[in-house]
Amino acid sequence: MSGYVIRRLLALIPTLIGVLFAAFLMLHLIPGDPARVAAGPDASDEDIALIRERYGLDKPLWEQFALYLGRVVQGDLGESFRSRRPVVQEIARRLPATVELAAGGMLLAVLLGVPLGVAASLRPNTLLDNLITGASVLGISMPSFFLGLILMIVFSAQLGLLPPTGRGGIEHLVLPSVTLGLAYVATFARLTRSNMLDVLSEDYIRTARAKGLRRRRVIWWHALVNAAIPLLTLLGVYFGRLLGGAVIIESVFAWPGLGRYMVDGIVTRDFDVVQASILVFATAIVLVNLAVDLLYGIVDPRLSRG
């Protein structure tokens, strides 16, 4: 197992270099001069030239990328054009907020979506099944920013139950995490229903029932555990999507996370901010998928032995 983890971590290196190169190239292909944006509208040509020289923007692209990659290897993610502060400090301050939001959305998706899918699979083609399936389609189809605005109007502006923006106590997390996770509740519910219907028709489930095991044990221990492998795969894939969705949700709810920081960096063409944010997001996604691969062996020991 340790050898497998080491190989996966080593494979992470070329992946992250490729992500950095793609982000670097796309940022430099965007029209506009980041040095002029950083200097301000009233800056002279001499000031702009000094900024280009300070941040290495006067060098060829291949040399700029080589220098940046060398700094990243040493743990230096650069300095923000706008705030003149090290990007590492800004990311360390904002990353916990994004992780908190993504974890809240994922927790909602799993704790609500899986039981709904199990309930629908136990009563297929009934009113309950149709209601859950219909609600799932609606949840997947609704844009997250639109849902967020509706929740803000209802629960903040009209009812006054929850704060509309900002980060603070648990009450500040409710609206953005619900907005972020509701679409994934629908997805988990539909996949759980489909997997459970397949598993419940297997011979070992009928054998467990014939042995007189309690219905609850058969469903939650035998059936759901064997239907959980695709759910774990979905967990790894959708965590990346949750991080991507957090970029929009953080802007809607003025959530002080890494996604909003990256959006501000894109608007101001703050190269180091955007590149470092993408690097952190990519690293988090790869590590979560590695954790999901290790969970396969816990859920099904046959996969671990393989």
Q: What is the pLDDT of residue 298?
A: 65
pLDDT at residue 141 above 60? yes
Range ranked top by mean pLDDT from 56-65, 151-160, 280-289: 151-160
Q: What is the pLDDT of residue 247?
A: 78
Q: What is the pTM of this model?
A: 0.75
The burial class, CB within 10 Å (0-12 / 13-18 / 19+), for 49 is middle
Say which residue the tokens 């009928």 belong to: 206
Range ranked top by mean pLDDT from 45-49, 166-170, 237-241, 277-281: 277-281
pLDDT, tens only, 36-71: 666 666 667 777 777 777 767 777 777 778 888 888
CA–CA separation, 116 vs 114, rounded Å? 5
CA–CA separation, 87 vs 91, rounded Å? 6
More confident: 227 or 108 = 108
Q: Give the lowest-confidence range in 15-19, 38-42, 116-120, 239-243.
A: 38-42
pLDDT, tens only, 209-268: 777 777 777 777 777 777 777 777 777 777 777 777 777 888 888 888 888 888 888 877
Pick the closest to residue 110 from 243, 221, 224 (CA basis). Answer: 224
Q: How far is CA 83 from the centre of its chain?
A: 26
The DSSP code sequence of the chain is -HHHHHHHHHHHHHHHHHHHHHHHHHHHHSSS-HHHHHH-TT--HHHHHHHHHHTTTTS-HHHHHHHHHHHHHTT---B-TTT-SBHHHHHHHHHHHHHHHHHHHHHHHHHHHHHHHHHHHHSTTSHHHHHHHHHHHHHHHS-HHHHHHHHIIIIIIIS--S-SSS--SHHHHHHHHHHHHHHHHHHHHHHHHHHHHHHHTSHHHHHHHHTT--HHHIIIIIIHHHTHHHHHHHHHHHHHHHHHHHHHHHHHTT--SHHHHHHHHHHTT-HHHHHHHHHHHHHHHHHHHHHHHHHHHHH-HHHHH-
pLDDT at residue 104 above 70? yes
Q: Does domain 94-305 have CATH number 3.10.20.30?
A: no
Q: What is the pLDDT of residue 300?
A: 60
Say which residue the tokens 């608007």 belong to: 267
Q: What is the pLDDT of residue 33?
A: 65
Across the range 170-181, mean pLDDT stands at 86
pLDDT at residue 305 above 60? no
CA–CA separation, 134 vs 128, rounded Å? 10
Domain ranges of the chain: 2-73, 94-305
Q: How far is CA 177 from the centre of its chain?
A: 12
Asked if residue 187 lies in contact with residue 113, where contact means CB atoms within 8 angstroms, the answer is yes
Q: What is the pLDDT of residue 256?
A: 85
Q: What is the pLDDT of residue 304?
A: 52
Q: What is the mean pLDDT of the chain?
A: 78
More confident: 13 or 38 = 13
Q: What is the pLDDT of residue 296?
A: 66
Length of the chain: 306
CA–CA separation, 26 vs 3, rounded Å? 36
Q: What is the pLDDT of residue 122?
A: 79
Neighbours of 181 (CB within 10 A): 30
pLDDT, tens only, 69-90: 888 888 778 778 777 788 888 8
Q: What angle do CA 5, 10, 15 make, to 5 degrees?
A: 115
